[in-house]
Amino acid sequence: MTACLHASVCPRVTTGMHSPRFSIVIPARDEERFIGACLESIRIAALPLPNPPEVIVVLNRCTDRTEAIARDFGARILREDARILAAIRNAGARAATGELLVTIDADSTMTPGTLVAIDRALSSGTTVGGGTLIRPDRTSAGIRATLFFFNLALLITRLSGGLFWCSLRDFHAIGGFDESLISAEDVDFARRLRAYGKRRRRPFSTLRGGHIVTSCRKFDAFGDWCAFTRPRLMWRLLTGRNRPSADAFYYDFRR
């Protein structure tokens, strides 16, 4: 397969004034099972755009075919071996050349209207950016219960995540993801982006017109009721500083 087999995802050559509108950052560790679907969803979402996005895959200690698959889709390849998701995401953002930044995990897919909806929202000047709704790739009583309380928390805090979107300028203005956190960096980022937007009268938003579908592999591994049966693990992850829990759930996780 050639490096630009999927031409509409191939990164645009950026010289002078011709930078892409979107840069999309994907952290990936041994994601050969999922990353093809993620990149294909980006390809489809980008079809209505006048120019293709810049897609940056940040490899983290990969030993499988993740890199080969990403190259087949024309993605830019970076490497960051730190066992810190914030550092992996920030490595991609530092290399980004687009006006708008999107982060998505390799085991998630975006719906076809996602990039158009983000472009419309940020072009309006009425929002600083935000997150999106998350839908699981399968369901069960335990997953539905978990999502109920998760969505209740989002309603109370007015935050969301899953896929983050904002201008690259605003991302750098708030310092990106906090690399002192080894987990829960997404919650911290959402809080800081919301506070920054509030000061500038551009509120944090949950995207309308697009959402993501994400893998339930953590439920597969830890149980569909893990949020209720393993509350200590969940709490330690939320503190952002418990290395054994973060390793078990993220950095050493294989499924």
Domain ranges of the chain: 7-138+159-220
Return the beta strands (E) in the chain as ranges: 22-28, 54-59, 76-79, 100-104, 108-110, 129-136, 161-167, 204-214
d(C-alpha 73, C-alpha 55), whole Å: 9
Provide the pLDDT for residue 155. 86
One pLDDT digit (tens) per residue for the chain, 255 residues: 333 334 334 444 333 346 899 999 999 999 999 999 999 999 999 999 999 999 999 999 999 999 999 999 999 999 999 999 999 999 999 999 999 999 999 999 999 999 999 999 999 999 999 999 999 999 999 999 999 999 898 889 989 999 999 999 999 999 999 999 999 999 999 999 999 999 999 999 999 999 999 999 999 999 999 999 999 999 999 999 999 999 999 999 987
Q: Is the CA virtual torsion 85, 87, 214, 204 positive or negative? A: positive
Whole-number pLDDT of residue 18: 67
CATH architecture of the domain covering 7-138+159-220: Alpha-Beta Complex (3.90)
